[in-house]
Structure 1
Amino acid sequence: MNKIIKTKLSSSDIMSLTLLFALSFFLFADQNLMAPNLTQIANEFGFNQLDRDLKLGGEISLVFWLVGGIITIFFGYFTDSFSRKKLLIGSVLIGEIPCFLTGFVETYAQLFWLRALTGIGIGAIIPITYSLIGDYFPSTKRSSATAYLGLVVGMGIAAGQLLAGITGPIYGWKISFIIVAIPNFIILFLYFLFGTEPLRGRSDSGNVKSKKISILSLKEIFKKRTNVLIFLQGIAGTVPWAVFFVYLNDYLSQDIGYSVQIATIVVSVIGLSAIAGAFIGGLVGNKLYNIKPLYQPIFSAVCTFIGVIPTAFLINLTPAENTEALNTFYPLILGAFSGFFITITAPNMKAILMNVNHSKSRGSAFALYNLADDLGRGFGPFVISIFILSFGRQLGFNIANLIWLICGLFILLISRTYEKDEIGV
């Protein structure tokens, strides 16, 4: 006998979600704080241009996301078994304390290991957050809920990068790490006092019993082709994203000729349009899902293909020796279209993942999703640094951009498996 699904949020639910979204905003604001000031950081540690791209762009990103990806498996296990509120508090502390301490580093080794520890916090919070959202909202509202979370996370990433780009040239690159870390200690204390978590499986039909990660549960997750395709597109898609998040700011200022501040504004516009794309894409995807589920991945794939075009034009801007000769408006338009179309995929993939997995294994599924995502984010910048070493920055970025076509093909294939895998959930 199916149970009654609770869909209305209580006042305590709204309070908890508000604090959860605020914690996500500031935790993810840390993600791209280095990007606007890579050359400044390289100069402080005595790196040349090649070391800048390999160490700061490649090695730091690799350890940040690789450690976070490994840790997410353990938190996925605990998410399906223990109090998610306690796990959330622990993961935020693990992420924010080293973020704060990064503002006081004096050596590259200190920076390297503190970034690795910060990656643990971001890797841990993802399966916890989406497990909670899956229980707060039924399948008919999850794309919209994911869109709102993506909006908040995207705003955090963009705000952090904009902050670093504005304050870095004036006060030094370290100050932004301190600024973004402090608010979360206050918000986390409020979550400790007032935060609650929903009953596990309350928004799913049928009886739901929590299940720990095991060989059998992993086999069930990978048995669904939709899950596998989502994992694969996540790995493929994060490689070209590394161009935006790690290299583009420095590329526009050092290779094309814009000032650091102008380059930061261009990248911030990409971030803001990405926020809009993820938000609108989630809402549109939710409506398409309610018409016919397979329309959701088709919509996402088409938008991914479209996003490759303005990205290619942005990467291939003509360098200029005189900053005044550069057209600032042109890259802003290209960045806006690129960021908007590429990010439409994100909330829809997460909603699909929630819809094809039971609440009992949703934390595990998102742990694996985050592992695939983190492996891509970690190896993506590292792979691009190899492209740069072999072909130079511009050609290397163009190769990375074409990988989005592979990502789009994986998403397109989801339309053939989605409805079948959702049956019985």
Structure 2
Amino acid sequence: MTIPSGQYINTHFVLSEDESSYFRSNQGLPIPSSQELDQSPSTLEIEEGNQGVTASLEMEFKHPFSRGQRYYTTGLFTLMAVLLFADQNLLAPNLSAAAAFFNMSETQKDIFLGGYISAAFFAVGAPAALLVGWYTDKVNRRNLLFAVAIFGQAPNMCTIFVTEYWQFFVLRLLTGISVGGVFPLLYSLLGDLFPISQRAMVSAFILIATGAGVFVGQMLAGLIGPAAGWRLPFVIISVPAIMVACVMQLTTQEPPRGVCEEALQGRQGADGEVLTYNERISWAKVKLLMRVPSNWLIVMQGLPGSLPWGMFMTFLNDFFQTRHGVSTGVATTIISVFGVGGGIGVVAGGWLIQHLYNKKKEYMPMLAGCCVLLGVGPAMYLVNGPVGSQLGWSFFMAFVDGVLASVAGPCVKAAIINVNDPEVRGVALALQSMTDDLGKALGPFIVALFITALGSQERAFNLAICSWIPCGMLILLLVFCMRRDEDEVQARLVENTREYSQVPTQEDGASNADASMCNNGADAESSRGATGEAAQTLMEGLGGIFTTRGSASYQRLPSLISALPSGQHTDGS
């Protein structure tokens, strides 16, 4: 049995530069320079004696959307994130003004506005995240994002008509839907717009957008609220958010699901066209998701990791004013400096994390976990230190704490995308977002209860800050399982698409081969069977190819090639 003369069997892989260099060195092949890789797609050819079988490792990422189209879509998503999260902390600068509007005492202010409102806002975000996450993996995500944005922002516009506390409570409850549902949608879409080698950095832009939204909203409320009333900022934020959602709906397209996965790059469907990934979520796949160790670590770190954030965003502004005697503007500036540091931490951390990940995957959770642990110290100073008498030092500590506390964000988002199949990422992201929302909701609520029980805001705040310790430890544990979970994703992608895909072929002298097959029908039929079996054998190695140095997956590829039936050959031209 022979392969028709002039026909190549090619399998396409996408490797990082570091992984490609390792593979080439193991096979005794020259390692291309970074400049050579940038100039043209790099291929790796392996020949097994006179069999002449070629395995092509392409260093080129191909997407059906142009680069400009992907960047434009991502830009709109980023702007939507800014506006949807701008209302998250609009009440904090004017907490005392809102309490006076509702005729509340200081204790009632902490419990009803600081505790219950925050709990309602984020508590509804948890079930919303799960519901939206499930439908994210089933329906058109762009349309769903538009619906979530409109439904979540309409209550903000109605805030101007609020006269009673219960009205404001209900409206904040409904607005939490947009915050809870936006994360699974945005990150699922980004996972199909950018490959694994860029996801941490792109995730950083979305996170910086959410932080910028909180910063812009808080600054707007701090500037406008004292002069025009605490309700007006809610309306000002909602109008552009709805407008951007409409632009997004009219000018963008849904990216194909799974198009950026390494194991699917370069593969063709049974009809010879570009492979379309048609898998959708099911309960069986949700059960599989729950068995992924990395998912458990990422989800569990969300609750303790979010407690300090909820406390900072809700109580700290007012705490600086009442306990340290600073003005509303100074207190808002300290929180804003914390936000600026967080923005820089997300961008710089996202870039550094992506760089380290492309070198060695384990470096990503190592850096993120250590930064979370180091963030405890500056946060303790902001609560217990002489903030009012040493403003310069307080600004510095707020900036440093913002940087350290924000580095983990891109790591967590990129990791949960990478360790889950495309059709279950919405639910996985929803679970992670749900624990974040619960942390932000329970943080102010628990702190409010502790304030009542202990009679001390400082003690309650210190307890919340200490929850960053288990958060950092859980992120560090990703070192032991993240790589394996990513490899298993790629293996499942190959297995899931095997029935309706084929290995890409590159023919030279196809007409001669066709003629030969016509003249030798029986031999041609046997050849097709052998080729299919060989292709299937090659595809089995795809799932684990993107692993660490020295892994068995790298060592298996030559053996997979040599496993082709003996006697098969090509012209080698």
Q: Tell me the TM-score normalised to structure 2 length.
A: 0.71
Residue 357 (str. 1) matches residue 414 (str. 2): no
> Partner of 2:398 in structure 1?
335
Q: Superposition pairs for residues 64-83 of structure 1, below 5 Å?
A: 64-83=121-140
The structure 1 segments of at least 4 consecutive aligned residues displaced by more than 6 Å after TM superposition are 1-4
Q: Tell me by how many angstroms 1:403 deviates.
A: 0.8
In our comparison, the structure showing a higher alpha carbon Rg is 2
CA contact (8 A) 1:2 1:205 kept: no
CA contact (8 A) 1:80 1:210 kept: no
Alignment partner for residue 46 of structure 1, among 96, 103, 107?
Answer: 103
Alignment partner for residue 402 of structure 1, among 466, 474, 478?
Answer: 466
> Residues 138-164 of structure 1, C-alpha deviation per residue, up to 9 Å, x if partnerless?
111000100111122211111111111
Higher percent of residues as helix: 1
Alignment partner for residue 34 of structure 1, among 91, 115, 118?
Answer: 91
> Partner of 1:133 in structure 2?
190
CA distance in 1 between counterparts of 2:12 and 2:302 reads 34
Alignment partner for residue 236 of structure 1, among 277, 300, 304?
Answer: 304
Residue 245 (str. 1) matches residue 309 (str. 2): no
Question: Which one is further off, 199-208 or 385-394?
Answer: 199-208
Alignment partner for residue 291 of structure 1, among 332, 350, 359?
Answer: 359
> Partner of 2:280 in structure 1?
211
Alpha-carbon RMSD across the aligned residues, in angstroms, is 1.6
CA distance in 1 between counterparts of 2:356 and 2:235 reads 42
Question: Which one is further off, 188-197 or 69-78?
Answer: 188-197
What secondary structure is seen at the aligned counterpart in 1 of 2:467?
A: helix
Q: How many residues align?
A: 419
What secondary structure is seen at the aligned counterpart in 2 of 1:415?
A: helix
Residue 421 (str. 1) matches residue 480 (str. 2): no
> Residues 96-127 of structure 1, C-alpha deviation per residue, up to 9 Å, x if partnerless?
11112123211110110100110001111111
CA distance in 1 between counterparts of 2:162 and 2:297 reads 40
Q: Tell me by how many angstroms 1:185 deviates.
A: 2.1
Q: Superposition pairs for residues 10-409 of structure 1, below 5 Å?
A: 10-206=67-263, 208-214=277-283, 216-318=284-386, 326-391=389-454, 392-409=456-473
Q: Tell me by how many angstroms 1:13 deviates.
A: 2.5
CA contact (8 A) 2:133 2:185 kept: yes
CA contact (8 A) 1:255 1:319 kept: no
CA contact (8 A) 1:15 1:194 kept: no
CA contact (8 A) 1:257 1:319 kept: no
CA contact (8 A) 1:144 1:283 kept: yes
CA contact (8 A) 2:311 2:440 kept: no
Say if 1:146 and 1:319 are closer, same or farther in 2 by CA, change over 3 A: closer
The AA in structure 2 aligned to 1:280 is A
> Residues 372-395 of structure 1, C-alpha deviation per residue, up to 9 Å, x if partnerless?
111111112111111211221111
Instruction: Give unmatched runs, 5+ long, in structure 1.
Output: 321-325
The AA in structure 2 aligned to 1:80 is D
Q: Tell me by how many angstroms 1:318 deviates.
A: 3.7
Question: Which one is further off, 83-92 or 168-177?
Answer: 168-177
CA contact (8 A) 2:192 2:260 kept: yes
CA contact (8 A) 1:62 1:381 kept: yes
CA distance in 2 between counterparts of 1:390 and 1:139 reads 48
> Partner of 2:521 in structure 1?
none
Say if 1:362 and 1:206 are closer, same or farther in 2 by CA, change over 3 A: same
> Residues 344-390 of structure 1, C-alpha deviation per residue, up to 9 Å, x if partnerless?
00111101111111111111111111111111111121111112112
Q: Tell me by how many angstroms 1:319 deviates.
A: 7.5
Say if 1:112 and 1:213 are closer, same or farther in 2 by CA, change over 3 A: farther
The AA in structure 2 aligned to 1:336 is F
CA distance in 1 between counterparts of 2:178 and 2:209 reads 17
Q: Tell me by how many angstroms 1:180 deviates.
A: 0.9
Instruction: Give unmatched runs, 5+ long, in structure 2.
Output: 1-10, 15-60, 265-276, 490-573
Q: Percent identity?
A: 34
The AA in structure 1 aligned to 2:465 is N
The AA in structure 2 aligned to 1:6 is K
Q: Tell me by how many angstroms 1:213 deviates.
A: 4.6
Q: Tell me by how many angstroms 1:21 deviates.
A: 1.2
CA contact (8 A) 2:310 2:439 kept: no
CA distance in 2 between counterparts of 1:401 and 1:15 reads 38
CA contact (8 A) 1:277 1:344 kept: yes
